[in-house]
């Protein structure tokens, strides 16, 4: 097994916590790092001051490596977070950039000594990221919880295409909630995985207990997409509030009405305050395998155990298949 991801990031297992708006706080990031993965503090959903606080919390709870995630969204003033990242650079070893063109920012971030991971959802963007000086590619399929690329490519199609077109280590993201899926991603060329949804249903996550329980109770049919009518792809858990949004989208509701439904506060009140009837929460497609609220350490151990089991199973199966 190539070890570029674990060696470059200084972690034991090739499992990275994806940046998660509102949910990706310091305590969860530290728990992931302490369990042998790479914890990541999100800027999304946190003011610059709260982001600094969360980084401080994370770095007091772990002495291991930490990362931060910055979405470079058109309508998001992400530059406000760069001075804090610079100020806290001794506590951070990596950064992931998503949602926009990372190239103008990579030299500055590498100068701070950070490993730069770029989240992409097409071969073209992976090539641009490599040309721009990225250290690692996070290949995110449309199975992922949260905001995805409008091309809506699945991980199964995207991952082998991206690994064939970059020399950088590739980390797979989207719907990977168990070690068997992790093994599948490695078979398609990944050298690590990025996980979001599975870490929400953990003891250490700041998500409201109603959100965690909803993930445990949901089936594979319970995620859906909102915001397609305005060119977005936001994968969320299906509930009555989400059905209301989809109805409004179908009847071409005004931008103002839609904004009232889809803004980040609607996400926060459901995800953190537990008002699930008044808002929406993100979820990836892998929820079938989220069957309990466990500790982050138990979750990561289970990924690794099942990853190795899957390898043994495939070896057996290969013996039953002839080549010609
Ligand atoms: C609650 C939640 C919030 C997210 N917020 C962000 C974000 O702020 N920035 C980002 O790059 N990705 C975000 N994502 C995507 C994750 O970083 C990750 O790539 C994705 O969750 C992987 O798919 P999975 O949820 O099926 O594991 C979010 C995902 C979830 C579930």
Per-residue pLDDT of 224-277, as tens digits, reads 999 999 999 999 999 999 999 999 999 999 999 999 999 999 999 999 999 999
pLDDT > 70: what percent of the chain?
99
Alpha helix locations (H) across 62-191?
A: 82-87, 106-111, 123-131, 155-164, 179-187
pLDDT digits (tens, 9 = 90+) for 270-315: 999 999 999 999 999 999 999 999 999 999 999 999 999 999 999 9
- Mean pLDDT along residues 96-109: 97
What span, in angstroms and rounded, lies between the C-alpha atoms of 97 and 117? Answer: 6
User: 85 and 57 in contact (C-beta within 8 Å)?
Assistant: no
Orientation of helix 123-131 relative to helix 155-164, angle to 10°: 40
What span, in angstroms and rounded, lies between the C-alpha atoms of 192 and 186? Answer: 7
What span, in angstroms and rounded, lies between the C-alpha atoms of 43 and 84? Answer: 11
Measuring CA to CA, which residue among 134, 81, 131, 128 is closest to residue 110? Answer: 134
What residues contact residue 80 under an 8 Å CB cut-off, 6+ apart?
Answer: 48
pLDDT > 90: what percent of the chain?
96
145: its two tokens: 């919880």
218: its two tokens: 């949901």
What span, in angstroms and rounded, lies between the C-alpha atoms of 159 and 166? Answer: 11
Helices (H) and strands (E) in the chain, counts: 14, 11
- Mean pLDDT along residues 17-33: 98
Average pLDDT, the chain: 97
pLDDT digits (tens, 9 = 90+) for 200-212: 999 999 999 999 9
Strands (E), 202-251: 223-226, 234-237
Ligand 1 atom at shortest distance from the alpha carbon of 196:
21
pLDDT digits (tens, 9 = 90+) for 184-194: 999 999 999 99
Map out the domains of the chain with their CATH numbers: 4-206+294-319 (3.20.20.70), 209-285 (no CATH)
Which residue's alpha carbon is at the smallest distance from atom 4 of ligand 1? 20
Residue 2 confidence (pLDDT): 55
Which residue's alpha carbon is at the smallest distance from atom 2 of ligand 1? 20
- Residue 1, pLDDT above cutoff 60: no
pTM above 0.85, yes or no: yes
Ligand 1 atom at shortest distance from the alpha carbon of 119:
11
CB-based burial, 207-233: b 16+ in 10 Å, e otherwise? bbeebbebbeebeeebbbbbbeeeeeb
Q: Is 178 in the pocket of ligand 1 (CB under 6 A)?
A: no
User: 97 and 107 in contact (C-beta within 8 Å)?
Assistant: no
User: 190 and 161 in contact (C-beta within 8 Å)?
Assistant: no
Q: Is 197 in the pocket of ligand 1 (CB under 6 A)?
A: yes
Residue 219 confidence (pLDDT): 96
Name the least confident of 55-69, 196-210, 310-324.
310-324
The angle formed by the CA atoms of residues 21, 23 and 26, to the nearest 5 degrees, is: 105
Pocket test for ligand 1, best of 196, 222, 237 (most atoms within 8 A of CB): 196
Ligand 1 centroid to residue 18 C-alpha, Å? 5
What span, in angstroms and rounded, lies between the C-alpha atoms of 284 and 271? Answer: 14
From residue 122, alpha-carbon distances to 138, 151, 152, 171 in Å are 11, 8, 9, 14
């Amino acid at each position: 097994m190539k070890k570029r991801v674990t060696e470059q990031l200084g972690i034991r297992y090739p499992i990275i916590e994806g940046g998660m708006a509102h949910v990706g706080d310091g305590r969860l990031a530290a728990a992931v790092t302490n369990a042998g993965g790479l914890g990541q503090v999100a800027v999304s959903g946190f003011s610059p001051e709260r982001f600094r606080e969360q980084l401080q919390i994370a770095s007091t709870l772990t002495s291991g490596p930490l990362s931060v995630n910055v979405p470079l969204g058109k309508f998001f003033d992400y530059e406000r977070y760069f001075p804090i990242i610079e100020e806290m650079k001794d506590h951070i070893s990596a950064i992931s950039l998503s949602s926009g063109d990372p190239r103008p920012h990579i030299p500055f971030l590498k100068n701070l000594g950070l490993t730069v991971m770029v989240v992409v959802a097409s071969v073209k963007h992976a090539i641009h990221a490599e040309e721009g000086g990225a250290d690692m590619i996070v290949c995110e399929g449309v199975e992922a919880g949260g905001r995805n690329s409008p091309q809506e490519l699945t991980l199964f199609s995207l991952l082998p295409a991206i690994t064939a077109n970059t020399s950088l280590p590739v980390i797979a993201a989207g719907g990977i909630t168990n070690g068997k899926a992790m093994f599948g991603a490695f078979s398609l060329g990944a050298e690590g995985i990025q996980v979001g949804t599975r870490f929400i249903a953990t003891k250490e996550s700041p998500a409201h207990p109603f959100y965690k329980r909803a993930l445990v109770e949901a089936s594979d049919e319970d995620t859906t997409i909102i915001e397609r009518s305005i060119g977005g792809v936001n994968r969320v858990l299906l509930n009555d509030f989400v059905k209301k949004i989809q109805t409004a989208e179908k009847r071409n509701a005004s931008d103002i009405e839609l904004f009232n439904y889809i803004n980040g506060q609607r996400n926060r009140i459901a995800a953190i305050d537990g008002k699930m009837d008044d808002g929406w929460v993100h979820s990836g497609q892998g929820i079938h395998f989220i069957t309990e609220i466990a500790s982050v350490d138990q979750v990561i151990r289970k990924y690794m155990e099942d990853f190795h089991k899957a390898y043994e199973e495939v070896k057996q199966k290969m013996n039953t298949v002839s080549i010609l």
